[in-house]
Amino acid sequence: MQLNDQPLTRTLRAALASKKILLMTHLVLGYPSFAVNREVVRRMVTAGVDLIELQIPFSEPVADGPMILKANQESISSGVTVAGCLEFAAEVIAAHGIPFLFMTYYNILFKYGVEDFVSLAREIGIKGFIVPDLPPEEGKEFLEITRAAGLAPIQIFAPTSTPERMRYLAGHGDGFIYCVARRGVTGSKTDFDTDFADYMVRCRAATDLPLAVGFGIRNRDDVASLVGRADIAVIGTETIRLVDSRGPGAVEEFIAGLR
C-alpha cells in the first residue's frame, strides 16, 4: 500500500519517528478570551503538544458536549467573530512551529464562502479542517477545494462505522483520521475496553493514514492505553475544564504529564 504523502501526513509521520504517540489539543477560540487562548496555546506548545485544533465557535454545535457547547456560546455572546478567529489563528500560527487545524461546523464555512475560507486558511498556514457535520456525501465542493489547496480534510470514524464506510471515508480524507472513541458527544468518560481494541483494529485496517483518538481522554493512563493502537491522542474538554478551574498555568503541567 502506498503511503499518503500529503503535507500534514508527512509532518505527522516525521514526528512519529521519534515519539510513541502524538498529542493534539483543542481550544474554543475566544473562550474565555483571545488573551487566555494565546497564553494556553503558548503553554501547550511549551509542554510538547504536537498539533492543535482551533474551534471556531458556532451557535449550534450538535456534536459537542455541555462543556464545549458552553464555551461556544460564551465566546459568541462576548462578540467573537469569524474574522476575529481567523486573525487570532494567523497570529498563533506565525508564532509557533506546530501544525494548527480549524475545527468548526459547516455553516461557518458555507456562510463565509468555502473557497474564500479555505484560501484564507491556507494563506495563514492552517494545515487542515475538522468539520463534524459535513459527511463526504454533502462535502464534495469542500473536499475538492481543500485538496486542491494542499490542505487536509480530516475525516471522522465512529464505532458505528462499518469497514466499508471506513474505507469510503478514508478515501475522502487526508492528514489523519479522527477516530471518535465512543458513541455520544464530547466530554464524557470513555472506557478503553475490548470493544475499543477491536474498533481500533478495524480503523487501522481501513486506512494507512495516522489515527487520532478523541472523546474522553483525561489522563496519562488514557494516553498510555492508546500507544500502539493509535498515533495521536486528542485532549479536548479536559483542558477547557482545567483553564476554567485553575487557569492557563495548569494546562502546561497537565500536558507535560500526559506521556
Partner 1 sequence: MDIKEGYYGQWGGAFTPEVLHSTFAELKAAFKKAKEDPAFWQEYVNLMSSYSCRPTPLTAAENLSGLFGGARIFIKREDLNHTGAHKANNVIGQGLLVKRMGKKRVIAETGAGQHGVATATMAAKFGFDCTIYMGEEDVRRQRPNVFWMEKLGATVVPVTDGSRTLKDAINEAFRDWVGSMDDTHYVMGTVCGPHPFPEMVAWFQSIIGIEARAQILDRTGGLPAAVYACVGGGSNAMGIFQGFLNDPEVELVGVEAGGRGLDSGEHASRLAGRDASPGVAQGYKTMFLQNADGQMRDTHSVAAGLDYIGVSPMLTDLWEKGRVRFAAATDAEVMDTLDLTMRREGIIPALESAHGFVQAFKEAPGLSPDDSIIINMSGRGDKDIFTIAHAFNDPSWKEFIIARGKEYAAE
Q: Residues with catalytic annotation?
A: 53, 64
> 206-230: buried (b, 16+ CB within 10 Å) or exposed (e) per residue?
bbebbbbbbbbbbeeebbebbeebb
Stretch that binds partner 1, among 10-18, 34-42, 129-137, 145-153 (CB under 8 A): 129-137
Binding flag, residue 162, partner 1 (CB under 8 A):
yes
How far apart (Å, rounded) are the C-alpha atoms in residues 199 and 194?
9
Footprint of partner 1 on 63-102 (CB under 8 A): 63, 65-66, 69-70, 73, 76, 81-82
Q: Does 160 bind partner 1 (CB under 8 A)?
A: yes
Cis peptide before 61 (omega within 30 of 0): no
Residues binding partner 1: number (CB under 8 A): 43
Binder of partner 1 out of 38, 96, 122, 165 (CB under 8 A): 165
Would residue 212 be called left, alpha or beta, if left means φ above 0 and alpha means ψ between -120 and 50 degrees?
Answer: beta
Taking CB under 8 A as the rule, does residue 62 contact partner 1? yes
- Could you tell me which of 159, 175, 157, 181 has the C-alpha nearest to residue 167? 157
185 near partner 1, judged by CB under 8 A: yes
Give the footprint of partner 1 on residues 131-150 (CB under 8 A).
132-135, 137-138
What are the φ/ψ torsions at residue 109 (nearest 5 degrees)? -70, -40
Q: Return d(Cα 222, Cα 193) in angstroms, integer.
A: 11
In single-letter form, the type of residue at position 91 comes to E
Question: Segment 191-250, which members bind partner 1 (CB under 8 A)?
Answer: none
Contact set with partner 1 (CB under 8 A): 57-63, 65-66, 69-70, 73, 76, 81-82, 105-108, 110-112, 132-135, 137-138, 155-162, 165, 169, 180, 183-185, 188
